[in-house]
Amino acid sequence: MKVGVLALQGAVAEHIRSIESAGAEGVTVKHAGQLDELDGLIIPGGESTTIGKLMRKYEFIDAIRAFASHGKPVFGTCAGLIVMAKGIEGGEEAHLGLMDIKVSRNAFGRQRESFETDLEVKGLSEPLRAVFIRAPLITGVGEGVEVLSTYKDEIVTARQGHLLVSSFHPELTDDYSLHAYFLEMIKSNDAAVK
């Protein structure tokens, strides 16, 4: 199984390491043509405005939309969550607009720019160590979206079919259980296609 990590900006190497620890091959993705060989794609954290701009420049927008519309799983973390959302609070234009969620950027404010906590996530057997860095929050979800975890009543992990997002950085610890969960999504997706 090959899982790509969009490598325009942000925490790429850490995601590759987590994917490989979870048992799949990690591919650093720099050109849209590489998507053809992938079973799933991760969009990492970083800065969503920059990632969005680079996605436009390197023609990833239509390519990732096509990838997802063929049912291939996509996992966005932190800034990756923002670029996958259909709505961004404050009137900013959506980037990929893949997932039926509304997000608020930098929602934890300056006092709590970054912090770590143990999170219960639906579908994982143990709490996950979650690292939040200038994290966004999911402020609204559409009908087909399942909430997988909350932090202080705010939504921080969600899934819509083959799309998965987290507000936090699951790649910055050696707990790769959310990556393993994503690989399971890819496996069950493969079964559906065959």
Ligand X SMILES: NC(=O)CC[C@H](N)C(=O)O
Residues known to be catalytic: 78, 169, 171
Nearest by Cα to 138 from 159, 110, 114: 159
Residues 6+ apart with CB under 8 A from 81: 101, 103, 136, 138, 165, 166, 167
Nearest by Cα to 54 from 23, 27, 80: 80
Task: Tell whether residue 78 is a contact of ligand X (CB under 6 A).
Answer: yes
Task: Tell whether residue 105 is a contact of ligand X (CB under 6 A).
Answer: yes
For ligand X, the binding residue among 13, 23, 106, 126 (CB under 6 A) is 106
Say if residue 101 carries a ligand binding annotation: no
Cα 92 from chain centre? 19
Q: Does residue 157 contact residue 111 with C-beta atoms inside 8 Å? A: no
| Smallest gap from residue 23 Cβ to ligand X (A) | 25
Say if residue 48 carries a ligand binding annotation: yes
Task: Tell whether residue 82 is a contact of ligand X (CB under 6 A).
Answer: yes
For ligand X, the binding residue among 24, 101, 121, 133 (CB under 6 A) is 133
Which residues bind to ligand X, rule: CB under 6 A? 45-48, 78-79, 82, 105-106, 133-134
